[in-house]
Each structure stands twice: as structure tokens, then as C-alpha cells.
Amino acid sequence: MPRVAQREEQQVESPPLHMRVSKSYGRMMIAVGIFFDLLPFLSVLLMLIFVMMGVATLIGLDSIKSCASVSEKWWRIGDGIRCGWMLGKVFVTGAATIGSLVIMGSTLYSIVSWISTAIAYTLFTVWFWVKGVRIWSFSRASRILVNMMTIIIEMIPLLDLLPGTTVMVWRHVKVSQTEDKAKHKALVKKSLRVVRGGGRRALPKAA
């Protein structure tokens, strides 16, 4: 009989830990959040690559090659002037391209940042909801506060360079895991009280 009681107590002492967002699943969600934070940078980088390719095409590699060949006959004034004109065109075009990239890059970054933020928060709202975590629950003001603060950060220029989406996802993942561990700990204590009390009531099951 004591062995049966001991066995029952050991079984109740270790109820299964149910976590809505596991560690591996949480890392995957955080990785997706990092992707959304890097998306504006990737869009500007792609724009830079395409613009530089276009500039190289407009200038033409032939003009650079022909200018390089002038070095062999530098004593000819006409060829020197032609080479200087080509180099000047390259420098002016490069300066204009850099200025355009600064204006276009910042504008494109802001637009992509706003769009990616809207998509990210919609995606993670549904994703967390499927996992049983209500990130917009008004019963917990801290959840709403974190969401609103990170959204504001993502909408303000320069501040949107901070990884607001990643911080939001990381916070909700960690808080949900902490809540599940606390519930599990409370369940263990309640189960032990039932067993030690000698009652025959049904033991609470893990959520």
C-alpha cells in the first residue's frame, strides 16, 4: 500500500509541461521577426544593385576601355580631352546616382518599413492566436503597451532602424513560456496537496 501511494505521488509530482510556444517554435518565430526587420534593408540593397547596373549600362564599358587606351598615346591633346570628358561624365553620373540613392533609398526604406510592419503584426497576431496566445488581450495591459510602443518605433524615421518587430515577438514568446511554466508549477503544488491530503478527488489535469 505505501508503494502504491509513493507511486501515485511520483506520478503527480511530474505532470507533463504543456507550453503553447516551445523553445524551438519560439526561435523560429523570432527568426521570422528578424526577417521582417531586415526586409527594408534588403529592398534598398536590391534597388542599389539595379541602379548601379543601370548606370554601368548607360555609361557603357566601351567608353571606359577607350579612355584607358588613351594612356598609350597621351601626347595627343584631342584624345586627352576626350578621355577627360568621359571621366568627368562618369564622376558626374556617379555623384548624381549617389544623391538619387540617398533620396530614393530613404523613401523606399520608409515605405517598405511601413508595409512590412503592417504585414508582420497581422501575421504574428494570427500566428500567436493559433498557438493560444492573445497578444492583443486587454486583460494584460503590458501586451498592448509592448505592441503599441514597437509599432510607434517602426513608424518613426531613424527609430525604425531599431528591431521593433523582433523585440515584440521575443517578448511575447518569453512571456508566454514564463506563464506556462508558472501554471505548471502551480499545478504540481496543487496535485501534491491533493495526494498528501489523502482525498480521493480527481487530480487536476495539465492544461
pLDDT higher than threshold 80 for residue 85? no
- Residue at 196 is within a domain: no
pLDDT higher than threshold 60 for residue 57? yes
- Residue at 12 is within a domain: no
Which domain does 96 fall in, by range?
Answer: 22-187
- Residue at 4 is within a domain: no
Quote the pTM value. 0.67
Average pLDDT, stretch 97-115?
A: 75
Domain count, the chain: 1
Please write the tens of the pLDDT for every residue from 159-207.
Answer: 888 899 999 999 999 999 998 888 888 887 877 776 665 554 444 554 4
Average pLDDT, stretch 19-26?
A: 88
- Residue at 3 is within a domain: no
110-119: list long-range contacts, CB under 8 Å, 24+ apart.
110/40, 110/157, 110/160, 112/39, 112/40, 112/43, 112/44, 113/39, 113/40, 113/154, 113/160, 114/154, 114/155, 116/36, 116/39, 116/40, 116/165, 117/36, 117/151, 117/154, 117/155, 117/164, 117/165, 119/36
Instruction: Give percent above pLDDT 70 in the chain.
Output: 60
- Residue at 14 is within a domain: no
Q: Which of 26-35, 44-53, 147-156 has the highest mean pLDDT?
A: 26-35
- Residue at 48 is within a domain: yes
- Residue at 9 is within a domain: no
